[in-house]
Amino acid sequence: MILQKLHGLFLGTLRRQLIFGVAVVHALMMTLFVGDLTMRQKALLLERQTEQAVALSATLATSSAGWLAANDLAGLQELVEAQRHYPELQFAMLLNTEGRVLAHTDRSRIGLYLLDLPKTSQQTILSKTPALVDNVVPAMIGSRQVGWARVGVGQREGSRKLAEITRNGIFYALTTIVIGSLIAWLMGRRITSRLYLVQQTIDEVSSGNRSVRSSVPGDDEAAVMAREFNTMLDRLDARDVELRTSEERYRLVFENSPVSIWEEDFSGVREFFNRLKQQGVTDLDEYFNQHPEAVQQCAELTKIVNVNHAALALHGAASKEELLAGLVNTFTQESFETFRRELICLWNGGTEMVWDAVVKTLTGVPQYVTVYFSVCPGYEESLAKVIVSLADITARKRAEEGLLTLNDELEERVLQRTAELADKNEELQRMNKIFAGRERRMAELKEQIKALEKMTTASERSL
């Protein structure tokens, strides 16, 4: 929570980000500068301190060599006391070759022995720190060592100057940060004030004023962004006009189509499908066989978004509200069977289906329809937009039924005529049989007559 507040305080706006960035950069640069300057000054002061200690001890060794050889303690103490005028002197001492202190700026140390003297007769820096540079130099007469001169130099004045330099560096750093932040604030104000003009335009557009445009003069990034934003708004306006025109065209086609069109939302059915799949259901047809009430549940989950005038006319409704209020009365058993087929089609990944079905008007009159079911492109996953069209084929169905009835009547008449013809044929066959018998009888009579005539002729000849 605190970090969020700090983030908002320092980085909440572009202006604050710019000021904070400039301040951080200046702080880092000045910190590095002051740190580097301080380190360099410390190193320089230490070198000067070392040079002074070496020079002072060398001078003391040279001037005290004769006194050390003569073992003139009073003269040696005077030489040591003469070094006190040096402001950074911590101590000065003269020792014999055994390490016994013969003279010291602190008289209480006279007579003591030092054990840290170098083993060889050469100038040696025993300690080299800002607090103390301890240097020892052998006192020589010719090539013979007669003692040691040891000087310790501090850095009180140098430390004071270094602290002053550090304080001044920090002051300059803070001044630079403040001045840099002020300049950044002025620059940020100029930059963000131009961005705020674009933001005002965005706010106006968000509030519904699509005609407003940004007016940012110049050729900098803010002006370019404003022009690009204006161009985007112009394109959006043109696209909105095209969209409204297309929407109006779609609505005209939708409302005035002679085919009943229903715009439906099956997103609730999709969620129902997902729950079934999570439960392990793989065969929706079998699931419906075991749970027939699930079809009615899916019908309740389906939302009717819109219907056209042809849908009202098909179901005999005066308004969409009347149709939706009495929608349950328009379903038949075949309607539920068709809806079940649609659900199985969607479950299996299908997006289109054509099927004949029967619906009813609000007054219960059956209407024969061809159902065309289609998922709109882009909504295959959510099923939020599905178009269902019902083509009224009642007249065709009734004509087909009339043709079937006429065909049945014709078949009946053909059967009757066939039966009558069969009866007539039997009568003809009977008459044919009668006429055939008569013809045979006449042939027999003719034969008998011919035989009689022959007999008569023969009788006449015999007489």
Question: Comparing 50-54, 191-195, 233-237, 271-275, which segment has the lowest mean pLDDT?
Answer: 191-195
E-strand stretches of 75-181: 89-95, 101-104, 124-128, 133-141, 144-153
Distance CA 151, CA 133 (A): 8
301 Cβ contact list (under 8 Å, min separation 6): 266, 268, 269, 271, 272
Handedness of CA 72, 73, 74, 80 (dihedral sign): positive
- Asked whether residue 8 carries a pLDDT value surpassing 70, the answer given is no
* 430 three-class SS: helix
Supply the mean pLDDT for the chain. Answer: 81
User: CA 360 → CA 87, 197, 328, 336, distances in Å?
Assistant: 119, 62, 10, 12
- Asked whether residue 135 carries a pLDDT value surpassing 90, the answer given is yes
In this structure, what is the dihedral angle of CA atoms 310, 312, 316, 322, given to the nearest 10 degrees? 180
| CA-based nearest residue to 264, from 311, 307, 315, 310 | 307
The predicted pLDDT at position 142 comes to 85
Q: For the packed helices 14-70 and 156-206, what is the interaxial angle rounded to 10 degrees?
A: 170
- Asked whether residue 344 carries a pLDDT value surpassing 70, the answer given is yes
* Furthest-apart CA atoms within the chain: distance in Å: 236
Taking a C-beta distance cutoff of 8 angstroms, is the pair 182, 26 a contact? no
Q: Residue 322: which pLDDT band, with cuts at 50, 70 and 90?
A: confident
The predicted pLDDT at position 136 comes to 94
pTM here is 0.46
The predicted model gives 10-17 an average pLDDT of 62
- Asked whether residue 9 carries a pLDDT value surpassing 60, the answer given is no
pLDDT digit string (tens) for 377-433? 989 899 999 998 888 887 777 777 677 777 777 777 777 777 777 777 777 777 777
How deeply is 187 buried, as exposed, middle or buried, from its count of CB atoms within 10 A (0-12, 13-18, 19+)? middle
Among residues of the chain, what percentage have pLDDT more than 90?
Answer: 13
The predicted model gives 342-356 an average pLDDT of 89
| CA-based nearest residue to 327, from 336, 355, 342, 293 | 336
The predicted model gives 249-272 an average pLDDT of 86
Instruction: Provide the token pair at 421.
Output: 């013809």
Higher pLDDT, 428 or 258: 258
* 286 three-class SS: helix
pLDDT digit string (tens) for 61-80? 889 888 888 888 888 899 89
The predicted pLDDT at position 7 comes to 60
The predicted pLDDT at position 150 comes to 94
Distance CA 184, CA 178 (A): 10
How deeply is 33 buried, as exposed, middle or buried, from its count of CB atoms within 10 A (0-12, 13-18, 19+)? middle
Q: Residue 93: which pLDDT band, with cuts at 50, 70 and 90?
A: very high
How deeply is 326 buried, as exposed, middle or buried, from its count of CB atoms within 10 A (0-12, 13-18, 19+)? middle
Instruction: Provide the token pair at 148.
Output: 């040691």
| CA-based nearest residue to 324, from 305, 343, 297, 298 | 305
Instruction: Provide the token pair at 209.
Output: 């004023």
The predicted pLDDT at position 278 comes to 92
Taking a C-beta distance cutoff of 8 angstroms, is the pair 93, 103 a contact? yes
The predicted pLDDT at position 212 comes to 76
Interstrand relation of 89-95 and 144-153 (parallel, antiparallel or unpaired): antiparallel
